[in-house]
Amino acid sequence: MPYLFTSESVSEGHPDKVADQISDALLDEFLKQDPQSKVACETLVTTGLVVLSGEVKSHAYVDVQKVAREVIRRIGYTKSEYKFDAEACGVISTIHEQSGDINQGVERENPEDQGAGDQGMMFGYATSETDSYMPLALEISHLLLKELAAIRKEGKEMTYLRPDAKSQVTIRYSDTHVPEKIDTIVISTQHDEFETSDATDRSASRQAEEKMVSKIKEDVLNILLPRVKSKLPQRTADLFAEDITYHINPTGKFVIGGPHGDTGLTGRKIIVDTYGGKGAHGGGAFSGKDSSKVDRSAAYAARHIAKNLVAAGVADQVLVQVAYAIGVAEPVGLYVTTYGTTKVKGANGETMTDGEIANKVNELFEMRPYDIVKRFGLQNPIFSETAAYGHMGREAGVKKVEFQVNGQKETREFETFTWEKLDYVDKIKAAFSL
């Protein structure tokens, strides 16, 4: 019997994402000056206030107030009526030095013996249902909000848009787990109060609110959705049938939003950051953490394994789990499941078990923290880009970073989203005789 699966996303102006982006911008600034920096920064944002906390061990000096304000300005909180804006908000820092007890388990005389920065389990997932090897509902949810933000920043259409927004997409799947159609789309976007009335006249206020919501729904259907569909492959665009159920600002007007409408915290959108509820999650957040924290680096490595396995044709779906003990370099375990979609055969001609696949993965991929960091260039300042619209499923690219060297400006380039590369496909095909 067909079934439904739902994923959500939040915009860069969502308060939790504001916090994530500030935390990762701070991390990048420390790494620009000192690639060996050990950082665990947490951010809280609320009405008119940003609070920075956490632990850092670094030779760098970072103007944390300036960094926070630059992020807030870039996102679009630049007006006093938002009750949270880049120029006027207070910024308080309580960042202090990393615990020596933790540091002694991470840094070693031989860098290759670097221990994991924490215990825990991390997951990576991939599926063949999209070209990015990501779950379809999450991919569409992210794209809806990326396009909505692009429209807002262009300032030509939907000029009433404010930075905060959420989306949700429900996909109907067949019995054989193939996407059949989009069932429901939910979009809630913050906006200006562009229709006003006498606040004491309830009927007039209700009519003004209904006019705003009606206009937003019309623009979502006629401006946003065509832009989204144009960026999707045909097999996905075809799923936008005429009988989709739309809920656009279903509670009514959404003027009060962002950190004024809801306090934001780093690390509260871990499912949005990963696979939208598909696969699994170990519970550890990413933003604000340097790569010695395996919560982040090993989750990237697990995604890289899963994606390359699916791309190589080992299975249609793959979930990889890796687990660590704090201060220990070698993982304590590695697990792989293909959900019964395995396509490879062993030496005996029978379908290879998930355990046999895991053994080969262990042979192909080095999972010590040191090797993960080197493989993906995770001591480079490449993390700000990850803090909105997902850490996985993004295109690998190049980021230009400006440095001050002996009083002179210098620009360097760093690869981004390196864990999304399909650079192990040939090795996997050879190992599995594909």
The response to whether 254 counts as a known ligand-binding position is yes
Give the residue among 292, 311, 310 at the shortest CA–CA distance from 103: 292
Task: Using only the alpha carbons of the chain, give its radius of gyration.
Answer: 23
The response to whether 16 counts as a known ligand-binding position is yes
The response to whether 166 counts as a known ligand-binding position is yes
The response to whether 98 counts as a known ligand-binding position is yes
The response to whether 260 counts as a known ligand-binding position is no
Q: Which residue in this structure is represented by tokens 């590369």?
A: 421
**CA 133/CA 139 separation, integer angstroms:** 10
Q: How many CB atoms lie within 10 A of CB 314?
A: 26
The response to whether 293 counts as a known ligand-binding position is yes
Backbone phi and psi for residue 157, each to the nearest 5 degrees, phi listed first: -130, 160
The response to whether 42 counts as a known ligand-binding position is yes
The response to whether 289 counts as a known ligand-binding position is yes
Tokens of 285: 């957040």
Q: Are 116 and 324 in contact (CB under 8 A)?
A: yes
**CA 231/CA 128 separation, integer angstroms:** 18
The response to whether 20 counts as a known ligand-binding position is no
Q: Are 248 and 242 in contact (CB under 8 A)?
A: no
The response to whether 253 counts as a known ligand-binding position is yes
Q: Which residue in this structure is represented by tokens 């998930």?
A: 354
Amino acid at the residue 330: E
The response to whether 14 counts as a known ligand-binding position is yes
Instruction: Please report, in range form, the residues annotated as the binding site.
Output: 14, 16, 42, 55, 98, 164-166, 253-254, 262, 268-269, 285, 289, 293
Instruction: Please report, in range form, the residues annotated as the binding site for K(+).
Output: 42
Instruction: Please report, in range form, the residues annotated as the binding site for L-methionine.
Output: 55, 98, 262, 293
Instruction: Please report, in range form, the residues annotated as the binding site for Mg(2+).
Output: 16
Instruction: Please report, in range form, the residues annotated as the binding site for ATP.
Output: 14, 164-166, 253-254, 262, 268-269, 285, 289
